[in-house]
Structure 1
Amino acid sequence: MTNAVDLQALAAQIAGKLTGPGGPFEITVESVLGAPIPVFRERRRNLLEILDASKELGDRDYLVAGENRYTFARHHEAAGALAAALAQRYGIGKGDRVGILAANGPEWVLTFWAAQRLGAIPVGYNAWWAPREISYGLEHTQPVVVVADAKRAEALAETGTRIPVLTMDHDLPTLVAEYTGEYPETALSEEDPACILYTSGTTGRPKGVVHSHRNMVAVSDYHRFTDAFAAGFRGLPWDGSPTDRRFLISSPLFHIASLHNLVIPRIVTGDAVIFPSGGFEADKILRLIESERITNWGAVPTMASRLLDEDLSRYDLSSLAAFSLNAAPSSPALQQRLRERLPVAQVALTTSYGCTESGTAATVATPMELLANPETVGRAIVGVSIEVRDPEGKVVPDGTEGEICVRSPYVMLGYWNDEAATKAAIDENRWLRTGDFGFLREGRLQMAGRRSDLILRGGENVYPTEIENALDEHPAVQESAVIGVPHEDLGQEVAAIVVVTDPESLTADELRDHVAQRLAYFKVPARWLITSDALPRNATGKVLRRELSLGE
């Protein structure tokens, strides 16, 4: 305990030096959209400033996809040329939307940055959407053009849209070659919209989350701060010079984990982003870590779990220095299995909590915190304030469950063309109501679940995450999901869908006893489905609960 306290005190001391008066990340409070928000005093004011500064990084790798490699200098030139083409060929200017509908790849990123040169707003459409969903997105944000890969260009054709579609494999290289040497510029303010990403849509229609230049520059500065903090913790100097880190990108670019928190910060820190080819395959990813000497990887829990199906001793994973679990909750049992099998997880496993609306992680749990309390998602990151509130909006005492509310310079402007939804999500003091439930204890946040996932059983509140964590401790369980199903007397009762390799090898009674030994009686599922079929998930790894049923 003494060591933990000492380390916490050391962390506070280092953070204080960095963010205090005269520090490289000095924090001051400014009025942001009418609310007092802590911001970094020294900061760039828009993404275009960040893009132009990246030219100085020259021949260092920025985007790597096999033989398709963009150095920072090549990327800067190509983004300028594409911006000129979009402006001169399609009349795109400040405030216009540029749709991006594609799987991950360097050209996705190139399109994003080209839009920033024009003050246009790139819209990251979900690459998994069906034509009907694509039509909704096009109607909702009305892009002037859509940049797409070959597969999604076909899906766009099925919608019957008349919006011009530029293909990544043919149109973009042609336009870049034609307009090379041009670098249009646009005057931008911090509160101008910088991009639109859609919410996961696990319930209802997805909403378009608008992030400002302030939001996205602040996220990049947060990543610079973490680099400086880590150096200080190791007793090393930090001057912001580029390192030789290589980040594996395995979550979609239409999600904040990959766009806001990976691709954009790397253009500031001078690190490389490595793209796998095709869909996720554990063997292919592990070989890529070997060949590209990957140093950093943020994986969704499902991907991390699949790694454990491989013989990890067959791969050279010695380059991997940082490993995090992102985008969806991870069970303590999975964390422990990773520590036992994946060397980096023993010393560098972290997890976090955030949502599309929050712009980046609101909290991060350090390896030590996670080891001591596997269910925590950590403490608020620099610049973030967190409150847990009751249904009337009052802050609840430490240890009491309520709705998690977040305020920071990273929080979205609002929802695109949806004033009512924006007002419901963000109050007059710029506090974001996340819709997630949890509690704070001594500054650490622990999740309970989402309001929409809550099961009301006979007057008792039951959160699926707690039961799923208990189920995942069973050695035969690969993954699980808990839902509420209608019940005549109780209103709802608890049901569990459990994925195992061989459904004949496990009975509902065994699982019922397993949960009953760990949780209160009313949390023990009354109905069961044991299956070998994987749970339905969205592109960011979250379970699509609306698609779950017991198949009865």
Structure 2
Amino acid sequence: MYLTQGLQRALQQTPDSVVTICGARRRTFSEFGQRVARLAGALQQLGMVPGDRVSTLALNSDRYIECMMATWWGGGALNPVNIRWAVPEIVYSLDDCDTGILFVDDHFLPLVPGIRASARRAPVVIYIGEGQAPQGMLDQEQLIAASAAVADAGRGGEDLACIMYTGGTTGFPKGVMQSHLNLWSACIQRMAEYPQGSENRDLFVMPLFHIAGLARVVSGFIAGGSFVVLPTFDPAQVLATIERERITDAILVPTMIQALLEHPNFAEHDLSSLQRLTYGASPTAGEIVERVLAALPDLKLSHSYGLTEACPIVSTNPPENHSAAARASGLSRSVGRGGLGVNVKIVDPQGQEVPRGTVGEIIVRGPNIMQGYWNKPQETAKALRDGWLWTGDGAYMDDQGYLYIVDRLKDMIVSGGENVYSAEVENVIARHPAVLMCAVIGVPHEQWGESVHAVVVQKPGFTLTLDEVRNHCRDAIANYKCPKSVEFRDTLPLSSAGKILKRELRTPYWENKHRSVN
């Protein structure tokens, strides 16, 4: 139960098989393993000791995957950086868990001076781009060439493998601590239901800082398959890559699927190699499922529900539940049943299981559930109770155990597959000198599922515009968290305790919807 085991197995059994394809670069397991062992040695020489955190701020690449595996091989723990964050958010995550080494590619070089200037502990920066390392940075290729290969540190089980920062309802990100056992179990559980082998050729376009991308890497190494890596999502490039590289498997969020279907050259590409497509990270509209299966009738389509704290899978709705009959019956709208090794219950606020068909909160138990939140004992105690993870998601379960999500109990917006926590955005807006009060909610959006909407009460004598609010937010948070729309009001609805009644703000936007998330 250690995350380098799959690489060890492939080095023994299939050393000459290709593991990574990134542009013109193709590396066999043997080549990849040597690079990983040497890079791990370099990290140790730079001071990385067991459990030390190492971050990567980069677009997807074969080098990113090398950094991940080298960190584990050398005994460290990952702290992947959200590539859509602003500098203050990046620095918070580095400072919070005392990260000492940061890998950076060409795309994010402009952020390095700001990170170095404001981080409590300026990290050692290693360049993993396509050119020469800028002055003051180490070069990954030079480190690999100059370092001796080291033996696998062999960390596993309950040893810390990863800290993944997710938005916090307090306005600050929370570091989800995942052990080797958590991640390994989650992948094995998934693979037991949906077999994955060395013949798989997996498309990596989901960002690797996301749990969906990271877990896909782990399961890929366990299976011994090949990774075809794209730096970011581009519909034309994805379609061409599926055809050229004969991709068999992919995971996409609904907005990506929609972009592929709507691309003008979609019908011109041979996508017959694609056997399995998993969609997740945000719910999808039924018409997208209909369109995908109309275009690719032999495709095995499945929908997964999960969260970072579960590494990530809680439940999956399998391909057989996407048949014409299942779509007509509404079964395809379910997020499936609890996976192998995962216990799922729907409970009331006291933790008592509610009758089937009754809405309550989803709680989950299994070996895939996180260790807790880094340095946040109160948040951990709230989320983990008696061995169960309280997800904050509202749902009901039918008589066959299928889950149907109907609302989000925690104050979170999912926009294009990205989690946006209202409190974080509200804290930024409230710092504007013209703002008296504000509330942030999610409203339906045709393309992104939900979009960020701010309701603002201005101080007397001040006048704000949407652009002014957005520009103010951009300096502190990622663009996807900034409000797409702003409503100005004289007052906000308040409870008798003075709490803003967000449900009243949300109702006009969701009253004609069959559920309160999109």
TM range (shorter): 0.7 to 0.9
Distance in 1 (alpha carbons) for counterparts of 2:107 and 2:18? 27
Determine which of 127, 141, 153 is the counterpart of 1:167: 127
When residues 322 and 144 of structure 1 are mapped into structure 2, their CA distance, relative to the original with a 3 A threshold, is same
In structure 2, the partner of 1:28 is none
Note if 1:75 corresponds to 2:29. Answer: no
Where 2:144 maps in the other structure, the secondary structure is helix
Distance in 2 (alpha carbons) for counterparts of 1:209 and 1:265? 20
Counterpart residue type for residue 302 of structure 2? T
When residues 106 and 496 of structure 1 are mapped into structure 2, their CA distance, relative to the original with a 3 A threshold, is farther
Structure 1 contact 295–321 (Cα < 8 Å) conserved: yes
Distance in 2 (alpha carbons) for counterparts of 1:120 and 1:480? 37
When residues 273 and 166 of structure 1 are mapped into structure 2, their CA distance, relative to the original with a 3 A threshold, is same
Give the C-alpha shift of residue 313 in structure 1: 1.6
Q: Which moved more, 1:218-227 or 1:477-486?
A: 477-486
When residues 488 and 183 of structure 1 are mapped into structure 2, their CA distance, relative to the original with a 3 A threshold, is closer
Structure 2 contact 49–76 (Cα < 8 Å) conserved: yes
Q: Unpaired runs of 5+ in structure 1? A: 1-44, 229-239, 456-463, 498-511, 524-541, 544-552
Alignment of 1:87-166 (within 5 A): 87-88=44-45, 90-159=46-115, 160=117, 161=119, 162-166=122-126
Q: Which moved more, 1:151-160 or 1:387-396?
A: 151-160
Q: Which runs of 4+ in 1 moved over 6 A?
A: 482-485
Note if 1:291 corresponds to 2:244. Answer: yes
Alignment of 1:217-228 (within 5 A): 217-228=184-195
Structure 2 contact 193–340 (Cα < 8 Å) conserved: no
Give the C-alpha shift of residue 427 in structure 1: 1.1
CA offsets, 1:236-284, max 9 Å, x none? xxxx8x5322111111111111111x1111112111111124x422122
Distance in 1 (alpha carbons) for counterparts of 2:94 and 2:241? 35
Counterpart residue type for residue 386 of structure 1? V
Structure 2 contact 284–449 (Cα < 8 Å) conserved: no
Counterpart residue type for residue 389 of structure 1? V
CA offsets, 1:309-367, max 9 Å, x none? 12422111111111121111112222223222x305x6411101100001121100012
Distance in 2 (alpha carbons) for counterparts of 1:487 and 1:91? 54
Structure 1 contact 101–148 (Cα < 8 Å) conserved: yes
Determine which of 356, 369, 389 is the counterpart of 1:432: 389
Note if 1:250 corresponds to 2:205. Answer: yes
Give the C-alpha shift of residue 223 in structure 1: 4.1
Determine which of 270, 278, 295 is the counterpart of 1:316: 270
Distance in 2 (alpha carbons) for counterparts of 1:120 and 1:331? 41
Counterpart residue type for residue 410 of structure 2? S
In structure 1, the partner of 2:315 is 363
CA offsets, 1:108-127, max 9 Å, x none? 11111111122211111111
Aligned residues: 427
Where 1:339 maps in the other structure, the secondary structure is helix
In structure 1, the partner of 2:283 is 329
Counterpart residue type for residue 408 of structure 1? G
Distance in 2 (alpha carbons) for counterparts of 1:359 and 1:519? 29
Counterpart residue type for residue 173 of structure 2? P
When residues 247 and 130 of structure 1 are mapped into structure 2, their CA distance, relative to the original with a 3 A threshold, is same
In structure 2, the partner of 1:348 is 300
Structure 2 contact 72–155 (Cα < 8 Å) conserved: no
Counterpart residue type for residue 327 of structure 1? A
Distance in 2 (alpha carbons) for counterparts of 1:496 and 1:313? 39
Give the C-alpha shift of residue 495 in structure 1: 5.8
Distance in 2 (alpha carbons) for counterparts of 1:419 and 1:366? 36
Note if 1:272 corresponds to 2:272. Answer: no
When residues 96 and 480 of structure 1 are mapped into structure 2, their CA distance, relative to the original with a 3 A threshold, is closer
Counterpart residue type for residue 204 of structure 1? G
Distance in 1 (alpha carbons) for counterparts of 2:299 and 2:236? 23
Counterpart residue type for residue 199 of structure 2? D
In structure 2, the partner of 1:259 is 214
When residues 444 and 223 of structure 1 are mapped into structure 2, their CA distance, relative to the original with a 3 A threshold, is closer
Note if 1:396 corresponds to 2:357. Answer: no
Where 1:196 maps in the other structure, the secondary structure is strand
Distance in 2 (alpha carbons) for counterparts of 1:488 and 1:307? 43
Counterpart residue type for residue 314 of structure 1? E
Distance in 2 (alpha carbons) for counterparts of 1:374 and 1:53? 37
Aligned-residue identity in percent: 30
Counterpart residue type for residue 352 of structure 1? S
Determine which of 178, 182, 202 is the counterpart of 2:146: 178
In structure 2, the partner of 1:537 is none
Where 1:388 maps in the other structure, the secondary structure is strand
When residues 130 and 402 of structure 1 are mapped into structure 2, their CA distance, relative to the original with a 3 A threshold, is same
Structure 2 contact 6–224 (Cα < 8 Å) conserved: no
When residues 484 and 445 of structure 1 are mapped into structure 2, their CA distance, relative to the original with a 3 A threshold, is farther
Q: Unpaired runs of 5+ in structure 2? A: 134-138, 414-440, 456-491
Counterpart residue type for residue 219 of structure 1? A
Distance in 2 (alpha carbons) for counterparts of 1:49 and 1:61? 17
Give the C-alpha shift of residue 157 in structure 1: 1.5
Give the C-alpha shift of residue 417 in structure 1: 1.3
Structure 1 contact 389–403 (Cα < 8 Å) conserved: yes
Structure 1 contact 484–494 (Cα < 8 Å) conserved: no
Output the TM-score relative to the length of structure 2. 0.76
Distance in 2 (alpha carbons) for counterparts of 1:426 and 1:184? 36
Note if 1:339 corresponds to 2:299. Answer: no
Give the C-alpha shift of residue 72 in structure 1: 1.3
Give the C-alpha shift of residue 447 in structure 1: 0.6
CA offsets, 1:281-314, max 9 Å, x none? 2122111111111111111011011112124221
Give the C-alpha shift of residue 186 in structure 1: 2.6
CA offsets, 1:177-229, max 9 Å, x none? 1125x12333534111011111155882221111101112212322442355x
Structure 2 contact 283–449 (Cα < 8 Å) conserved: no
Where 1:302 maps in the other structure, the secondary structure is helix
Distance in 2 (alpha carbons) for counterparts of 1:283 and 1:203? 39
Q: Which moved more, 1:193-202 or 1:169-178?
A: 193-202
In structure 2, the partner of 1:7 is none
Note if 1:304 corresponds to 2:257. Answer: yes
Structure 1 contact 62–266 (Cα < 8 Å) conserved: no
Determine which of 135, 160, 168 is the counterpart of 1:193: 160
Give the C-alpha shift of residue 138 in structure 1: 1.4
